Chains A and B, each alone.
Chain A
Amino acid sequence: MLRHIVTTAALAVALVAAAMAPAQAQDQKGTLVFAVESLGAQTLDPILEGRPGNAVYQAAMYDSLVGFDFAKGGVGPGVAERWELSPDGLAWTFYLRPGQTFHNGDKLTAHDVKFSLERQMGPGSLAAAAATMRRTIKNIEVVDDLTVKVRTTSPQIGLPAGLSRAVAPEGAIMPKTYIEKVGEEEFRKKPIGSGPWKFVRNVPGDRIEFTAVTTPHWRGRPHFKDLHFLLVPEESTRVAMVRTGEAGIASIGPETMLGASRAGLEVLSVPGTMQAIFQFYGTWRPEVKDSPVAKVRVRQALSLAIDRKQVIEHVMNGKARMPHPFATFGYTDFFSAERWKKWADEAYRYDPVLAKKILAEEGYPNGFELKFANTALPGTQFMIDIGTAIADMWTKIGVKVTLKHYEWGSFPPLERGDQAQLIGWASMYRTAGRPDAPWRYNGGFSPESTQRLFGDKDNCNETCQEFVKTYRALGSELDRTKRTVLTDKMVELVSNSWIVVPILEGMGYYAINTKKVGQFAPIAGRHELGDVFERIPRPEQKPWKK
């Protein structure tokens, strides 16, 4: 009899407790499960993870100094509400958003920002841009709890963009007091961040689990209680898991897209995440002076021979767009996007007749030999398919293409050194969707860059000189309109050279189980969904409209 009374009492207490729990916690229910191709290094320490990994799972628990413009894509307010450049262009001041706290309750202050940036530049950091930051940042000064001043050795127009996840991961803010208290080792086991999700568990090679922060957060208060990242390398398995409901969202490629939509799954595409391009190596080298690829009009003819619409329709199942010029998107900063979109639509049209005519005029009536290197980052299998498709189109206008396939890991060594194996070759390549175009142009065309597509230090023809002059001017130009003019000039130089030719503006593709996840909009250009999970509603809150 006694036992009976005790149980009913316990029951009553439990009910009351539940009722009193904070009202908001009520509407955080269920688990959002995201099946992804790779979890990178699967470490929760921002200085040890490369760009993709950080953007996928670290984004959930860490805020970045500079954030996203959720509507247009590109850079927007983050941990810092606003930031301004000193008149002499040598110092950026960031004004932090008040009232931000870490998961253990510590307040987020300017000290944390200084500590985080210095830690990214520190010796143990594997951050890709660590060397550049060490070179460009002179010192970081904490003005007051909510203001940080970063002095640079030379005017760094792109610094804020570099500290936003739209461009690079080095802006993640880490808890200074906590790390100094428990030490790096413990921090890596039990990490603390300021993001909308708290860390729960990390099972190597299998999954990472987070749980929602119950207090409001400027990036949005999660509608789900838990967030699980599952590592599922095989694409067909990922789609199967979404269909059976084991996962709510899964990253997919164009191959499985058709099957997914036919099976009743919602296929979401993130616009402007990457450009599939093809480029020519070493066209400026003396030894290929008289080869066809050295001639601008021949390169242009090869572009005209490509029916981009058919590639978009058949290889990407219609889920891709006609591209802007090289490495530029709708959201690129200081760039007259509309003018260049019109230019691109006309320049990248499909005109095989003209292409054949140009080839004939240039002395190749029955085509010529072209070696074409086809390669693709792990997980972007469709790049190989695009390469195969355009090689086939080139053969249709008489170009005898020999396709040679390179596994991604084995391609970079060929670019370095004297590029002996790539001179006179065309190759598939890609560029990630980023708002700051100049950085990517420098990476491809400056004489000191790895690819050196315009020329190297010793022989840099006048287009190459012109490019270097424009790029250097851009570096120190503070006036917005002048910057736009300079960027347009740089884009014009590269586009007219036809050395690097975009094929299509690709998208990130996700299969979604509408019974598990409500309707949400991705951030343009942001292939990885990292900064979106907190705003994804539950299906009953906002069902997908057909």
Chain B
Amino acid sequence: MKRYIARRLMQGAILLCMVATIVFFLGRLTGNPVDLMLPEDATPEDRTALIQTLGLDGPILDQFAIFVGKAVHGDLGMSIRMKQPAVEAFFDRLPNTLVLIPWAILLGMMLGIPLGVVAALNRGGMLDRAAGTVAVLGVAMPSFWLGVLLIFVFSVELGWLPSGRMGGPSHYVLPVITLGTFLVAGFMRITRSAMLEVMESEFVKLARIKGLSEAVVIWKHCLRNALIPVLTLWGVFVGNLITGAIVTETVFAWPGIGRLTYEAVIYRDFPLLQAVIILKSILILSINLGVDILYAYVDPRIRLA
């Protein structure tokens, strides 16, 4: 087990170096934050003065050397726009994004798994296609379109729910629905294929031989086995929810890191952009590793190996 974790960490480290280098150079090609900070009639001297204050002067390679020197000590620089250490800005907003994710996954599973089971039970039949259609609907609807519609219907017209921002539980409903529906298709499909695989196996036959009711056979014996691949989806989905939350956080004014990444790109806030992407990669890698280890507890075959 230890050797495996070590190898994964080493691979992660290489990935981080690659990501950091790419984002450092890519970012600078997209232009300069100073143009966005100066009023449109600023004089050229104002511009050079500001560039100096922000430390963006000097050849790009020197800047890269300084960046690497500081990054090694964990200092990823000050965000130009937020005027605070980029790492701090990231961790200020991270909980807001993370808090949405478990609910979205829960919603995705609550809808996806039953649909998957129903589809597997009626394979090839009408219900299989119906469940498939409902599940795929989540992937088919563009999330920002869905978000805006939900706000219009449930908040403005019906007035049941607040239309945006963080706050009490009622604030969570619409963003979680928007994020969650996107996952339903994934959960449905993996549950369906896992169930089909399990339903053909011998111990299910034995369960029926014991005279257990069909429901117990399906919902206890089969489903419990089908949950193992479902769990590995968490790792994949959490990663995607983090990178993909830009749209939902924009529509629902949710101050998460998705929105932070978008602003960092739009305002060319290089230090913040570099910090966000590096920290995000670390986060996703550790989550994948975490799911792997958690996986051992779900599948007894691994736990005691």
Contact = CB atoms under 8 A, between A and B. Distances in A.
A497 interface: no
A267 to B, nearest CB: 16
Most interface-central of A241, A410, A432, A444 (chain B CB within 10 A): A241
A45 B83 contact: yes
B92 A204 contact: yes
Contacts of A43: 82-84
Interface residues of A, number: 55
Interface in A213-260: 230-234, 236-237, 240-241, 243-244, 246
B67 interface: no
B174 to A, nearest CB: 10
B260 interface: yes
A246 B46 contact: no
B286 interface: no
Interface in A61-116: none
Interface string B92-113: 1100100000000000000000
A204 B82 contact: yes
B221 interface: no
A431 B40 contact: yes
A45 B93 CA distance: 21
Contact of B156 (A131, A243, A431, A444): A243
B41 A439 contact: yes
B156 A244 contact: yes
A438 to B, nearest CB: 11
Contact of A240 (B46, B163, B255): B163
Interface string A116-130: 000000011110111
Given A45-B83, A128-B37, A240-B163, A378 B156 contact: no
Nearest to A413: B31
Contacts of B260: 205
Given A234-B250, A240-B156, A412-B35, A443 B151 contact: no
B49 A408 contact: no
- Give the secondary structure class of A's interface: mixed
A128 B151 contact: no
Contacts of B282: none
B39 A234 contact: no
B41 A442 contact: yes
A413 B35 contact: yes
Interface residues of B, number: 51
Most interface-central of B36, B43, B53 (chain A CB within 10 A): B43
Contacts of B155: 240, 244
Nearest to B260: A205
Most interface-central of A48, A236, A432, A440 (chain B CB within 10 A): A236
Contact of A204 (B36, B47, B255): B255
B267 interface: yes
B159 interface: yes
Contact of B42 (A234, A243, A443): A443
Contact of A231 (B54, B89, B253, B266): B253
19 contacts: A131-B50, A132-B46, A204-B89, A230-B253, A231-B255, A232-B165, A233-B250, A234-B148, A237-B148, A237-B252, A240-B152, A244-B155, A409-B35, A409-B268, A412-B32, A412-B35, A440-B41, A449-B41, A450-B47
Given A43-B82, A48-B83, A126-B53, 13 more contacts: A45-B83, A126-B37, A132-B45, A168-B39, A206-B166, A233-B259, A237-B163, A240-B163, A241-B164, A440-B41, A443-B41, A443-B42, A450-B42
Interface of B: 30-32, 35-50, 53-54, 81-84, 89, 92-93, 96, 148, 151-152, 155-156, 159, 162-166, 250-253, 255-256, 259-260, 266-268
Interface of A: 40-43, 45, 48, 50-51, 123-126, 128-132, 135, 168, 188, 203-206, 230-234, 236-237, 240-241, 243-244, 246, 263, 378, 408-410, 412-413, 429-432, 439-440, 442-444, 448-450
